[in-house]
Structure 1
Amino acid sequence: MTTETPTTRPTAPLPSAAVEVLSRLERALLPPAVVVAVTCYEVASERTAELSHLMDARDLTPAEFNALFDAQTVMAGARATLAEAGRLDLIEVPS
């Protein structure tokens, strides 16, 4: 009989399917306020990127400028919520 020890059983890196399952499980266990903050941050981030691209191509209209400001305000609020929850890891790229 072969006994595996912690040093002989490979654990890293996890298969991509296992990473996906763990990510879904973690999201299911997060407090609702954190889930909302992550979702708001992601949507506002996409909108900011979209409007920033327009800004590079031409001047923004007043409505586009307001939308950009609003998206950045949402991102800042969501980031503050996540910082308070100690979960900035959900939106920031690890260093």
Structure 2
Amino acid sequence: MAELIPADESAADRLAFHLLKDAYCDLAAVLRGAKPDAADALFFGIDKRIADSLARLHASGAEGPASQEIAVAVGMKIQEVLDQAHGRADPPAAEKR
């Protein structure tokens, strides 16, 4: 496989994120419908794991001088997905099915 140029890598990352977001939201909806209590416990654990990982990234500076900004940007992007998937927010009109 040929190496991708940076713009193509960014496109691949965006597509991968979009596909994972859709899959996560679909799975979360099924779990919320079938086992609401289990879903709440699982979602709490997922939220905590993400928050802890982003806090470690920020504290360690693992992504260089912009680690704090990167951690905040990632957190905001992921929070939108989690809120939608966990039923805490309505998806934007363009994303409603």
> So what's the TM-score if we normalise by structure 2?
0.34
Which protein, 1 or 2, shows the higher relative CO under an 8 Å CA cutoff with sep ≥ 6?
Answer: 1
Greater helix fraction, Structure 1 or Structure 2 = 2
Q: Whose radius of gyration is greater, 1 or 2?
A: 1
